[in-house]
Structures are given as C-alpha cells and as structure tokens.
Amino acid sequence: MLIKFTIEGYRNFKNEQEFCMSAPRKKRLYKFKFAKTGLKCCPRFLKTNLIYGAPNSGKSNFVDAINDFKEIITNQDYSTQFLRENKNNKEPITLEMCLFCANTKSIYQYGFTVISGYFSDEWLYKNNYAGNREEFFVNNANNKQLLLSTDNRYVHIVNLLKNNLFILNNEKIDFTEEDFLLNLSEQKDFFKSFDIDISDKNLSKKTINFIKLIKLIRQCKNKNCTIISDDIGLHPTALKEILILFNSLNSQIILVTHDVSQINQWIMKEEIFLIDNNKIISLDQFIESENENKGYAKMIRYLAGRYGGLPFLPDIFRHF
C-alpha cells in the first residue's frame, strides 16, 4: 500500500514535492475512509484519493513518474524515456516511495537519484512499529543498474511493487487491442453488464483503460493493492460507485479526474490533491494555509475553472 511518493527534478517537478496517503492523526475521519497498519509511526492510511489540476499542469507527469519508478525496478527497464532524456542532463532526478507491507507489518522506504543516466544514489530503509528506521543499504556508487533489482535479498520488495501496485497510463497499453478483445471474449458473463460492444475492434484507449480498471478492481478485491489511474474520463456515476466500493475494501485507489461531483459527498478534503505546474499540494494543506472558509471557496472556484483550471472561454470566443 502506498504511504508516500516523493519526486524531485522529474519533468516539471523541479523542486521536491511529496504526495502522502497517510491519514492525518488529529483529524476525525469516518472509519471506512482509512485502513489501519498496526504501526505507531503511521497508524492509518487513506483508501481513496482524487487528483485535480489544470490542463498541462503535470498530472500525467506525476502518474508517469510512478510508472517509471515501478518499471525500472520490477522489469529492469533502463530504456524509459525519462532515463534517455536524463543522459544528456546533469540535473539530478530523485524518486522515492514508502510502501506498507501487510505481511511484515513494516513500511519500506526506497529511492534513487539519477544523474546523466547513472544511478548516483540508492537507499533502502525499513520502518518498524515505533518508527525506528533500520538501514538495509545506502549505495553511493554510479551504477547503470539498481541494487534492489539485482540482489535476491530484496526480491520480496520488488514483488511488493510488481504484484500490489498497478498504474493505468493513457499513453501505454500493455498489449494490443486485438489481444485484449480476445481476452474479453472469454469473460462474457463479467462484461455483459457493459453497454459496450466488446466485439468492436476500434475501442478507444480510454474505453480499454476503463475496462482494464474494472478488471484491476476485481483483482484487488481480496488483497492489499494500490491502483493509480490517469484521467480516463470516468462517468460521474462510475466514479461514485468506485469510491463507495473502495470504502469497503482494504485497498487503495488514486484517480486523476476533472469531475468535482463527489466533493463533500463521497470524497473529503483530506482525500483531494491539487497539481499546479511544479507543485503538489493537498486540499487540506491549501485550506490550512488560508482562512478555512475563504480557502475552501477558492478551491471550489478553482475546480470550477478559475485560477488557471480552465481558460476563460467567453474571452476566447470573442476573438472568433
């Protein structure tokens, strides 16, 4: 389960930014909104989260960063675009993730820094019940491969990422549409409720990713998983049903969306993050940084299209 993801130097995120799913300790939350870890250092984490932001603000870059992080570790894919771009760039890129493992009742903190295509730093820690940090390794050598991926002592952490973290990215489809449709034909009972002709070989990427999302949710129903999805244009009712479902599961879902219909209904301010150019900030932090009522009103206006959320269309249309 994802506790925290830290990003620095990746595309538009030049300065260190932190995305945290740890539930606020001093906040009273509905019990179905969080899951317990049994750890004193991080007693509970949120199960649902929505990410908002203006077009071209970096939402997809955030999802891509997590996807690249996973691909490099689990598949040893050192040909990812951001590594290719970094070869001629002397600016460091740092990615770090904190994951909760239910089997060991521990939080693993792992990250690396890339400079000019080489991993200049790599570290792995384990946080126990009281929050005491045990160092597994700190590697400061310039390497082309990661120690975590190549050392069998840490295969359980690689498998934790591989089997419990799933990313849906609009730019990447893991297999061809024809293969996917062939797979669907074997599950007619499951898909008969879809108002979609699954025999149609011209399904859009968003439709395919929506079906993949539903299949992932089915897989995560009985185990601790985290699903992170870029914006796939979910219908408001579908978004609502997914949020309700995850309130009853011990898994997480993080969705990029522009739909504000569930705010104050099935989603609370603690479960909302805003990405604005080079910043990642929770709605809770935004409100606390200003007068609460005024801040919340500003955020609602932002989500309605103000403050760069959308261009002011009447002004644009006057030039037509």
Q: What is the pLDDT of residue 190?
A: 54
| Residue 319 to residue 246: CA distance in whole angstroms | 46
Phi, psi of 319 (to 5 degrees): -90, 0
Q: Are the C-beta atoms of residues 308 and 298 closer than 8 Å to each other?
A: no
- In this structure, is the dihedral angle defined by the CA atoms of residues 105, 106, 107 and 112, taken in order, positive or negative? negative
- Residue 116 sits at the vertex; the CA angle it makes with 15 and 73, to the nearest 5 degrees, is 80
Q: Are the C-beta atoms of residues 60 and 230 closer than 8 Å to each other?
A: yes
| Residue 91 to residue 13: CA distance in whole angstroms | 12
User: Is 261 a domain residue?
Assistant: yes
User: Is 133 a domain residue?
Assistant: yes
Q: Are the C-beta atoms of residues 19 and 280 closer than 8 Å to each other?
A: yes
Query: How many structural domains comprise the chain?
Result: 1
Q: pTM of whole model > 0.75?
A: yes
Q: What is the pLDDT of residue 184?
A: 54
User: Is 218 a domain residue?
Assistant: no
At 95, which CATH number? 3.40.50.300
| Domain with 72 in it | 2-166+236-315
Q: Among the residues of the chain, which ranges form H helices?
A: 59-74, 81-86, 147-150, 155-164, 177-185, 188-191, 205-219, 236-247, 283-288, 292-303, 313-317
Extract the tokens encoding 76. Answer: 């040893």
User: Is 223 a domain residue?
Assistant: no
User: Is 209 a domain residue?
Assistant: no
Give the pLDDT confidence of 259-269 residue by residue, as tens digits: 877 776 778 88
DSSP per-residue string spanning 49-105: EEEEE-TTSSHHHHHHHHHHHHHHHHS--TT-HHHHHHTT--S-EEEEEEEEETTTT
User: Is 207 a domain residue?
Assistant: no
Residue with tokens 């007619």: 188
Nearest to 103 by CA among 154, 148, 156, 44: 156
Extract the tokens encoding 171. Answer: 């730019």
Ranges of the chain with pLDDT below 50: 173-175, 177, 179, 182, 292, 307-308, 319-320
User: Is 220 a domain residue?
Assistant: no
User: Is 227 a domain residue?
Assistant: no
Q: What is the pLDDT of residue 175?
A: 43
Q: What is the pLDDT of residue 253?
A: 94
Q: What is the pLDDT of residue 73?
A: 93
**Which residues on adjacent β-strands are paired with residue 49?**
254
Q: What is the pLDDT of residue 20?
A: 93
